[in-house]
Structure 1
Amino acid sequence: MRSQAKVQHRADPRPVLTGLALTTALVLAQALPGFAQVNPETTTADTTQALPGAVAGRPLTFADLAAQVSPSVVNITTSTTVAQREGPQGIVPDGSPFEDFFNDLQNGPGGQPRRSSALGSGFVISADGYIVTNNHVIDGADEIEIEFFPGDGQPPEQLPATLIGTDTNTDIALLKVEYDDPLQFVKFGDSNATGARVGDWVLAMGNPLGQGFSVSAGIVSARNRALSGTYDDYIQTDAAINRGNSGGPLFNMDGEVIGVNTAILSPNGGSIGIGFAMSAAVVSNVVDQLQEFGETRRGWLGVRIQDVTPDMVSAIDGLDGARGALITDVPPGPAEDAGLLSGDVILSYDGTDVTDTRELVRMVGNSAVGATIPMRVLRGGKETMIDVTLGRRETDEATAFPASDTAPEPEDNTQDMLGLTVSPVTPDLAEQYGLDDRAGLVITAVDPDSDAGAKGLAEGDLITDAGQEPVTTPEELQARIDNATEAGQTSLLLLVRRDGNPRFLALALDDTGPAEPDDGTDQN
């Protein structure tokens, strides 16, 4: 199944559809959580009242809901100038009499730049004309036109839209149109576990395949899906989503937006009942920032972190289960200023327990820049509270992890242990494996049948810490092994760097067999 199907999303919105007078690059549907309900000054519709015709929680029809929210759903058309290609390179030689002929084929008569169009969807979130859609719907567009659902009180024709701001991390964009009368709008609903349960009915609206306003119904198939982004929190649905639905809303039965249709899993580009909508909990926060600042301003802790795996638990003193976020690196920044250290396990953030790194990244990103956040941290078998004043991710991340100071040159000797052949870093080994100037033990060979081999350790990896203490010689590593064995531990926690990126993993001390591979690291 995975070999045949692929996730399609955030695609270029400008490929030409053969035989159609439109262009679209939306292979997915993104449902941005809807905002605000219908304007009480212009309509008496109440999105919070139960719809008629429901039996045991199951609607007999979706017609009332569709009529209620349709005025707030929009079609989006973009136009983009496609630059002239330089020439038919590789097809005919320069100066050939056929060169002009091939230029006309590629760029139109005279080789002039041409216009390309794309279609998508969106929804109105305020009476004064703010509209939410996907970033990939409008990315690179020169002109953006908004078409409203036809009906009384609706704008009679297309309106030009201004781009207010975008967020590529969540694929969200905020637009604005100007209109004399207040627009009908929708509000964001509860996309959390209590508000959008697996099995709940949902309604998707948009402009699939450029066919105009369309409605499809389904259920919440799954929650908390991650595709490829740092802040991913997708609702999976079987409501039909196709090209052109991108940026459109996913409604609950109260007419509230709980997601923005963003992607589909499909072997052919069409709906097979596996669609993804970015949750309202993520989108509403992004939209608030775009409205206020025109950009996102996310909190930044300034650490590299990774999940705690079950085989690490016995190697971390005081930890009673695979939970929390394990710090692998602390560069200069907010975390270092607060006194956090590599090897600390973050157990709670602002009073909320941390189950894994993904959850911590989302909580930090949703925090205000400059906020001081209390965290409960496990260090050396004891829990302690540490307050951290957050920086800003957008400006601090790129410079957060500089190379360390030059390490002293160790003597050249090699030893085998834990299924590894290790050696202190020498200038020759550093050049051979492309290492930086960090101190540690370089792995020169790995027994493929060992626990180290099963967990992906490879020649050229650099061990900088063992048992949460620095190691620079094989003798120091052996001492950490002996200490852990005498303490009754079944595994030893190593901090390993590959291409400069750190991660913790636990190796079995008795090497009786491989355990499950550990997760990679993340930055926050």
Structure 2
Amino acid sequence: MKKFGSLLLVSVFAGAITLGAYKLFLEKPNYAVIQEDNGAQLISTSYTPTSAKGAGINEVDFTMAAKNTVNAVVHVKNVATSKGPSSIMEFFYGYGGSQTPQVGTGSGVIISQDGYIVTNNHVIANADQLQVTLNNNKTYDAELIGTDPNSDIALIKIDVDRQLPYLAFGDSDNTKVGEWVLAVGNPFNLTSTVTAGIVSAKARALASLDQSFIQTDAAVNPGNSGGALVNTNGDLIGINTAITSQTGSYVGYSFAVPSNIAKKVVEDIMEYGNVQKGILGINTVPMNSPYAVENGINEIDGVYIAGVEEDSGAYDADLKEGDIIKNIDNVEIHKFSDLIGYIASKRPGDELLVTVLRGDERMEFPVMLKERQTIIIPVLGFEVKNLTEDEKKAFKTKKGVKIIGVPETYRNYGFEGKVLLSFGDEEINNIQDAKTKFGRISRYDRASITMLNKKGEKERLIIQ
């Protein structure tokens, strides 16, 4: 009996230990949250495992993207010589003394193994000498290949005897709001600086700039201009360009030219020597204008067509005033910056499928982009257009551009309607030619222009 009691006691203890071990190690818990009200419900909790590091930034690895990017981002130095007077006495009595060198700095991104570098136009503007310093501290003189002030993109090149690390352009159209990004550049001359943030917005318009930007909260400061904006895969999705700040330094958001626009500009410069800009040929109404508010246009989701230009792709496709553009090539269009951002990556001759809302009917139109026929030239502010065949015959010329609009300053000089033939000794062939040549004029330069009036007489004018 005593022996039986001992065996029973051992069995009870063994069972208790076994049950406890099962409860502690093997049984899955099944909790429920009880709402303390009359209609209480049982809500099963999720048992999906979570990382011990937690969700969000700790889950993202920036190291490989940063490692691959820093060696492809360079330091760009712009050395310009001041040609203006340095004192009030020199202003009135002339100047010819020592010229003052001015140095500006920024960043650039190597986009090919043989030394092509993309940067911002404002980084290299008015440079007498360009120098590029790689991440290994080697410095090279750089050559300006071409530039597009409208998009603020420039292409420069260095001659090297070895293959360089470079970044390939990514597809900025596939970038998503909330996606992690890195900004790499040289703020305040601090080389190889990497900052992280997210894409805050896409197709962001800035003031009166006819451009569409990626907005990010990655820290960007003076010196970052021309640097790389990359995703966590290391794809180049933008060229860091601007900040909006009352102090001139980073305050929480910055802006980059989308890679699809930068890539198109670079390809145009390399293939054509200038940027091929296609236009749709429509006019719109500013969203916050009194007319837009009074007519409810500011509440429209899409782009309202207020007018269609003759001899444009939109005109040929039969788009109408009052149509609302909703979609282009399956890309949703919510505002004007969406529209210009997409078209900026296209060329004249490209065909787009434009979806519009006409009344209550949704309609699709194939639209061929055409080359812009008018442009405003720098410094003078003249609006000029390419000559038609009839105008070439009327003025008896094969070259030149016609002046169709002038600023108020020149309104009484009779320039309107004349043909602008040359800048100095260089002939002007088209509107892009005129824009490039007049873009060389600085504040203190003198230059002559030759015009042709309706009588076929040539007129020469000195401008300063």
In the other structure, the counterpart of 2:309 is 331
Q: Tell me the distance in 1 between the aligned counterparts of 2:192 and 2:339.
A: 39
Report if aligned partners of 2:180, 2:199 keep a CA contact under 8 Å in 1: yes
My pick for the range that moved more, 329-338 or 66-75, is 329-338
1:234 aligns with 2:214: yes
Q: How does 1:243-262 map to 2 (within 5 A)?
A: 243-262=222-241
For 1:166, the equivalent position in structure 2 comes to 147
Q: Alpha carbons of 1:298 and 1:340: their partners in 2 closer, same or farther (altered >3 Å)?
A: same
More helix by percentage: 2
- What amino acid maps onto 2:161 in structure 1? D
User: Deviations along 1:107-129, whole A, 9 cap, x unmatched?
Assistant: 8xx72222211111111011111
Which residue is equivalent to 1:300? 279
**Is 2:75 aligned against 1:75?**
yes
1:412-444 deviations in Å (ceiling 9; x for gaps): xxxxxxxxxxxxxxxxxxxxxxxxxxxxxxxxx
How far apart, in 1, do the equivalents of 2:234 and 2:155 lie?
21
The answer as to whether partners of 2:212 and 2:338 remain within 8 angstroms in 1 is no
Question: Which residue of the partner structure matches residue 114 of structure 1?
Answer: 100
Matches for 1:90-239 after TM superposition, within 5 Å: 111-150=97-136, 157-192=138-173, 195-198=175-178, 200-228=179-207, 229-237=209-217, 239=218
Question: Which residue is 1:274 aligned to?
Answer: 253
| Counterpart Cα distance in 1 of 2:186 and 2:330 | 43
Greater relative contact order (CA < 8 Å, ≥ 6 in sequence): 1
* Aligned counterparts of 1:216 and 1:386: Cα–Cα separation in 2: 43
- Counting matched residue pairs gives 323
- Map Cα deviations across residues 10-47 of structure 1 (whole Å, 9 max, x no partner): xxxxxxxxxxxxxxxxxxxxxxxxxxxxxxxxxxxxxx
The answer to whether the 8 Å contact 2:282/2:305 transfers is yes
Q: Which amino acid aligns with 2:123?
A: V
Any conservation in 2 of the 1:77–1:117 contact (CA below 8 Å)?
yes
User: Residues 58 and 191 (structure 1 numbering): CA distance in 2 closer, same or farther, change over 3 Å?
Assistant: farther
**Pairwise CA distance, 1:135:** 0.7
* Match for residue 342 of structure 2 among 357, 363, 382: 363
> How far is 1:329 from its partner?
2.5
TM-score between both structures, scaled by the size of structure 2:
0.60
* CA distance 1:384–1:131, shift in 2 (3 Å): same
CA distance in 2, matches of 1:158, 1:384: 56
CA deviation after TM superposition for structure 1 residue 62, in Å = 4.8
CA distance in 2, matches of 1:356, 1:214: 34
Contact 1:303–1:330 (CA under 8 A) maintained in structure 2: yes
Among the aligned pairs, what percent are the same residue? 35
Asked if structure 2 preserves the Cα contact closer than 8 Å seen for 1:307 and 1:324, the reply is no
Q: For residue 277 of structure 1, report the CA deviation from its aligned partner.
A: 2.2
The 5 A counterparts of 1:396-435 are 398=383
CA contact (8 A) 1:370 1:390 kept: yes
Greater gyration radius: 2
Contact 1:297 1:393 in 2 (8 A): no
Q: Find the residue that maps to 2:306 and give its secondary structure.
A: strand
Q: Tell me the SS of whatever aligns to 1:160.
A: strand
Q: 1:332 to 1:89 in 2, by over 3 A?
A: farther
TM-score normalised by the chain length of structure 1: 0.54
Distance (whole Å) between structure 2 residues aligned to residue 158 and residue 245 of structure 1: 18
Q: Structure 1: which 5+ residue stretches go unaligned?
A: 1-53, 96-102, 151-155, 316-320, 402-524
The structure-2 alpha-carbon separation of the partners of 1:294 and 1:379, relative to structure 1 and needing over 3 Å to count, comes to same
Label 1:394 to 1:205 Cα distance change in 2 as closer, same or farther (>3 A).
farther
With over 3 angstroms needed to count, the CA separation of the structure-2 counterparts of 1:252 and 1:265, relative to structure 1, is: same
RMSD: 3.6
Structure 1 residue 306: Cα displacement: 3.1
Mapped to 2, the partners of 1:114 and 1:176 lie a distance apart of 26
**Structure 1 counterpart SS, 2:285:** strand
The structure-2 alpha-carbon separation of the partners of 1:382 and 1:282, relative to structure 1 and needing over 3 Å to count, comes to: same
CA deviation string 1:59-116 (max 9, x = no partner): 687555433322211000111121041851599xx67xxxxxxx9xxx8xx7222221
